[in-house]
């Protein structure tokens, strides 16, 4: 229909007291006649679909979730009904993450590689000074959802160490999100992805063993040379790990299930979740 035809419909609609009562009943409202006329007028002008079938004109406007049927001869409103909102399935998205650890380094090379790999939206991050906060990475994690893919150029762009990377990947697995490390491969629930994950686990275990050895040597030295030395340090988790655990909670997992998948204690989860809410 042309704009002129739409204007003709709007200007010639016939309203009666019965029409107002009917519309309020259908919409479950108690609108005044003036408001009803304004509502119908706005709905028609914003309509995305106008069809004439014989003596009836059907008008559909998703903005107001209204379907209006008008008699084309006398312009009486035959029906006004609320329509169900159309549920659009989220489009699967490929996200990229680029990071450099000093202000002197450039992000351009990483960004080019991420684009070539199909990244549709890229989050960029530069560390300043000695801070380890990654606000852009947190924003990215909040955006990720089922079937999305996170693309990074190298493992060290993703996490501070292999252990942290594995923990994040494991939580992404639980959320059904794929991780594509360009110099290693796609990590998902396929046999190849699981193989890569197993290799990562072996490296992580080796890294942990080396850390334990060095830590023990350091403790032994401190015990001998520092009379005020006290052993023990509370286990901490990064904001990124807590955010991913929180998303598991939003999916309906219990604290016990999240603890089994992430290794983070229930009390820690409850305490840290309060800072997110």
Give 25-48 pLDDT, tens digit per residue: 877 888 898 988 888 888 877 776
Compute CA distances 251 → 146, 169, 170, whole Å.
11, 17, 15
Coil, helix or strand at residue 253 = coil
- Longest CA pairwise span in the chain (Å): 101
What is the rounded (10 degree) CA torsion for 165, 166, 169, 170?
-150
Active site residue 101: yes
DSSP structural state of residue 155:
G
- Do the beta carbons of residue 166 and residue 174 sit within 8 Å? no
Determine the pLDDT at residue 188: 81
Tokens of 140: 């990215």
Determine the pLDDT at residue 48: 63
Range 3-82 has CATH code 2.40.10: yes
Tell me which of 21, 32, 101, 266 is the catalytic residue: 101
Listed by start position, the domains of the chain span 3-82
Question: Using CA atoms, how far apart are residues 38 and 46, in angstroms rounded to an integer?
Answer: 12
Determine the pLDDT at residue 232: 59
DSSP structural state of residue 76:
B
Determine the pLDDT at residue 86: 47
Each of the 277 residues of the chain gets a pLDDT tens digit; together they read: 567 777 777 788 888 888 888 788 877 888 898 988 888 888 877 776 676 766 677 777 766 677 787 887 778 887 776 665 544 445 778 999 998 876 657 889 999 999 999 999 999 988 644 456 788 888 888 788 888 999 999 877 777 777 777 778 877 887 788 999 898 888 887 788 778 877 877 776 787 788 888 888 887 877 787 776 666 555 578 888 898 899 999 888 999 999 988 889 998 999 999 888 6
- Do the beta carbons of residue 255 and residue 270 sit within 8 Å? yes
Tokens of 91: 């489009």
DSSP structural state of residue 91:
P
Determine the pLDDT at residue 88: 47
Statement: the pTM of the whole predicted model exceeds 0.85: no
Question: Residues, the chain, total?
Answer: 277
Compute CA distances 267 → 163, 232, 256, 259, whole Å.
22, 19, 10, 10
């Amino acid at each position: 229909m042309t704009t002129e035809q739409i204007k003709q419909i709007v200007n010639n609609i016939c309203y009666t007291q019965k029409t107002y009562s009917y519309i309020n009943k259908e919409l479950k409202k108690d609108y005044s006649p003036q408001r009803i006329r304004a509502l119908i007028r706005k709905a028609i002008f914003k309509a995305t679909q106008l069809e004439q079938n014989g003596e009836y004109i059907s008008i559909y406007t998703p903005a107001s979730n209204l379907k209006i049927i008008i008699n084309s001869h006398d312009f009486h409103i035959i029906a006004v009904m609320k329509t169900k909102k159309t549920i659009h399935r989220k489009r699967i998205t490929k996200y990229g993450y680029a990071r450099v650890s000093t202000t002197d380094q450039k992000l351009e090379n990483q960004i080019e590689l991420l684009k070539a790999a199909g990244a549709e939206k890229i989050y960029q991050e530069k560390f300043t000074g000695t801070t380890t906060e990654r606000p852009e990475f947190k924003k990215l994690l909040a955006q990720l959802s089922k079937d999305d893919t996170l693309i990074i150029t190298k493992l060290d762009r993703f996490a501070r160490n292999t252990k942290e990377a594995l923990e994040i990947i494991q939580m992404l697995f639980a959320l059904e999100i794929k991780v594509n490390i360009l110099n290693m491969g796609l990590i998902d629930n396929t046999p190849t992805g699981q193989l890569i994950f197993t290799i990562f686990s072996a490296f992580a275990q080796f890294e942990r063993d080396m850390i334990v050895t060095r830590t023990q040597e350091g403790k032994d030295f401190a015990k001998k040379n520092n009379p005020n030395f006290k052993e023990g340090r509370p286990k901490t988790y990064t904001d990124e790990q807590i955010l991913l655990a929180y998303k598991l909670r939003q999916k309906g997992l219990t604290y016990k299930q999240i603890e089994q998948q992430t290794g983070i204690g229930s009390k820690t989860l409850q305490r840290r979740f309060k800072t997110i809410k």
